Amino acid sequence: MNTARDLLLITLDPEHGAPADQGALSLALAGGELIDLMSVEAVAVPGERVVPGLAPSQDDDMLSQAVSSLVREQPYELVDDWLWRRGRGLAAEYVTRLRAEGLVARKPHRSMPARLMPGRPETLASAARRAAVARWEEGEPVLQALAAALRRGDESAVDASGLPDPVVTVLAAVGGAELELEAERQRRSVENAAFDNIWRGA
């Protein structure tokens, strides 16, 4: 099981997904990876730091890559720092891999050829998609919480009932990072608008 892959498949699913900013999605994918690594004891999250544990072999190349990128020197890495560092470009990398596996494809724009306007990637019928949808429809709490944080960028959207404290820590960090990303995006929008007004002589 790879929570990040399932989250991406759900996000790109035309029936269950919703548009998501690539940066926000990357942060959520990094959170999903960290939670999966905790489940196999590859890491522990006592407090707010990512402490490397065992290094079990992974069936998934992306999770193997995540394990190899862990900071293994004390005082170790903060969860927030992991999300931003590991998340950099992560959504695009996952999409590339899933396209290579035949799990997603870009939906052509209605009025233009695919080579000119490739459109948004969407999931294709596959066993992986069916498994992700089943997990989603069963209401699996980690997947639901990551999707809620992604869609609303709000820690209050995270349903942490019954989840272990380290998982709650990661989910809350994802929600906080999404809020921070949105605040930065709004700040830049305001600055750009102000610059445009100055340029026009307003």
DSSP 28-81: HHHHHHHHHHHHTTSEE-STTEEEE------SSHHHHHHHHT---STT-EEHHH
Q: Mean pLDDT throughout 144-164?
A: 73
Q: Mean pLDDT throughout 132-151?
A: 90
Query: In a 3-state reduction of DSSP, which class is residue 194?
Result: helix
pLDDT at 109: 53
Q: Is 163 exposed, middle or buried (0-12, 13-18, 19+ CB in 10 A)?
A: middle
Residue 194 has pLDDT above 60, yes or no: no
User: In this predicted model, what pLDDT tens digit does every residue of 51-64 receive, in sequence order?
Assistant: 999 877 778 999 99
Backbone torsions φ then ψ of 186, nearest 5 degrees: -65, -40
User: In this predicted model, what pLDDT tens digit does every residue of 65-112 receive, in sequence order?
Assistant: 999 999 999 999 999 999 999 999 999 999 999 999 999 998 765 554
Task: Answer with the residue of higher pLDDT: 153 or 32.
Answer: 32
